Structure 1
């Protein structure tokens, strides 16, 4: 696989992670969006704000500045009291925009470069993998919390239980397998 094709698959995975998180979170009402399941755990609002802040910091001027920006206040990402869902989701959207724009702007030669994250050198490919793993980790948390809060009203984001055989048959028919 060439570098451009690899970059396209990475961008597709980041987009899928964003989409999965959003489809889960949109099923949750505002009250549950801000609710943690126990002391010391993160609410959906905290996860969304943290991911947005992390993505903005890491992907703004990705190749030329340290990924831990001086204007990022990570600890504040874990506080959402007094903020609205719209304000938090704006942070999320900005972070994702910076991420996807930075990835789209990369040339295959950029994959040979080194970037800094908290002053530590990382190969660009490693920084991309770390960023994707971090986003997917928190996406899983978002899905789990959303599933918890929605209960019986949950709309499955993948193949619903009990529908695997029908799904597989449809795929075989579609792709001739």
Structure 2
């Protein structure tokens, strides 16, 4: 496998990992908690999801032929909390991630050096993917942090539970060395 193909596969796995983390965090909350914000300058989880949705649709729709900042995108409106149900919120979440993941799956290794534009600034496709590998996990981290703050019952860890590193690592080092794969169980432990 060439390095560009490996990059595309790794990027897709990483995006899927962060998508799953966000979902596992949101699943732990009551519906109304998804729409709570600490103060007027803070974003609720719903607003963060709406921003991710808008960004993903804008950046990854016709990415090879149009600027990633689409004329139809209303970025400022992404920060208005006007989603009213969990279902609507999760529909936007899925739509955004599906747009991104379908785009990633459509790319060929040769296209990674292709120049695309975001706000009229040229990036290689690889740079654009890497840019979003920083941007989207940043916001998923916000979702997780907000969810932990809002959860009124004990938090189900999305990683190795506190004081559980020795047990977890003991199990890992007891196994033969292997190439890392993102299985369902592994996605929960990093």
Same fold by TM-score, threshold 0.5 exceeded?
Answer: yes
Deviation, 1:123, is 1.4
- Partner residue in 1 for 2:141: 140
Structure 1 gaps of 5+ residues are none
Deviation, 1:151, is 4.3
- Partner residue in 1 for 2:24: 23
Structure 2 gaps of 5+ residues are 179-190
Deviation, 1:28, is 1.0
- Partner residue in 2 for 1:84: 85
Structure 1 residue ranges, 4+ long, deviating more than 6 angstroms after superposition: none
Deviation per residue, 1:122-166 (Å, 9 max, x gap):
111111111111101001100100111114421000100011110
- Partner residue in 2 for 1:114: 115
Could you say which structure has the higher helix fraction? 1
Distance 1:126 1:82 in 2: 32
- Partner residue in 1 for 2:158: 157
- Partner residue in 2 for 1:123: 124
Matched, 1:41 2:42: yes
Deviation, 1:85, is 2.2
Instruction: Please say if residues 53 and 92 of structure 1, whose CA atoms lie closer than 8 Å, have aligned partners that are also in contact.
Output: no
TM-score (structure 2 length as normaliser): 0.88
Instruction: Please say if residues 46 and 83 of structure 2, whose CA atoms lie closer than 8 Å, have aligned partners that are also in contact.
Output: no
Deviation per residue, 1:72-119 (Å, 9 max, x gap):
111111112363221122112111101001101111110110001111
Distance 1:121 1:2 in 2: 22
- RMSD of aligned alpha carbons: 1.5
SS of the aligned residue for 1:175 comes to coil
Instruction: Please say if residues 83 and 89 of structure 2, whose CA atoms lie closer than 8 Å, have aligned partners that are also in contact.
Output: no
- Partner residue in 2 for 1:64: 65
